[in-house]
Structure 1
Amino acid sequence: MTDFATSIDRLLNQIRVWEQPRWNVDDRAERTFALVQRLADMGADAEGRPRRPVPRDHDMILPDQVRVLADDLIAAGDERALLGAAAAVDELRSNLNT
């Protein structure tokens, strides 16, 4: 869990201060929303619930969506899911830097 929590904190520290123009660069918003959906799917799988699409709202709430879904995944406590989620977060974070 610690690796995932650290990865989420690092990502949120990077993106929570972005204004709209920054979200538009290189499809950052779409790539971040893809992570949001992936976290939602991992959380549903970990809790034995059906997967559902996450509503695609304004880019400026993406950090909030990441935070909520990360907290849900941590609460589920599935170590395997947390390892996969940490890798997905780290991958996005490194891609947002390029």
Structure 2
Amino acid sequence: MTETVGVLAERIAGQVAGWGPARWRSASPVSGTNTRGEVLYELVQHLADLCAELEERPRRTVPRLGNDYALPDQLRVVAADLETAGPDAATAADAVDALREAHRVIFG
């Protein structure tokens, strides 16, 4: 079975949805420097940028809200937007690779 952007995004969002502040602020076990929240935010921004390119509109900065609790929902929204935009094979592969890498970096 081929994993889609939506399936991978939901997997990550579901795994982090119940995290508290300490877990979000802890360093990634792989990067050691970025927090898990920073890694997930960077993924959200990357997916939003891919969607903007597909829709031929300017890139915009995804708002970084006051806490990280919104990150799973932001991930779900940008993943759904990207799938709705109908990515070509290369863009879909880029998004899937980014989701897999973020998962590896967040969870080790």
TM-score by length of 2: 0.84
Look up the match of 1:72: 81
Contact 2:25 2:36 (8 Å CA) reproduced: yes
Query: What pairs up with 1:1-98 in 2 under 5 angstroms?
Result: 2-26=3-27, 27-57=35-65, 58-79=67-88, 80-98=90-108
- Which has the higher Rg, Structure 1 or Structure 2? 2
Tell me how far apart the structure 2 counterparts of residues 93 and 2 of structure 1 sit (CA, whole Å): 13
Structure 2 portions without partners, runs of 5+: 28-34
**Amino acid of the structure 1 residue aligned with 2:91:** A
Offset at residue 82 of structure 1 (A): 1.8
The structure that is helix-richer by fraction is 1
Q: CA deviation at 1:13?
A: 1.7
User: TM-score, length-normalised on structure 1?
Assistant: 0.92
| Number of residue equivalences | 98
- Gaps (5+ residues) in structure 1? none
| 4+ residue segments displaced more than 4 Å | none
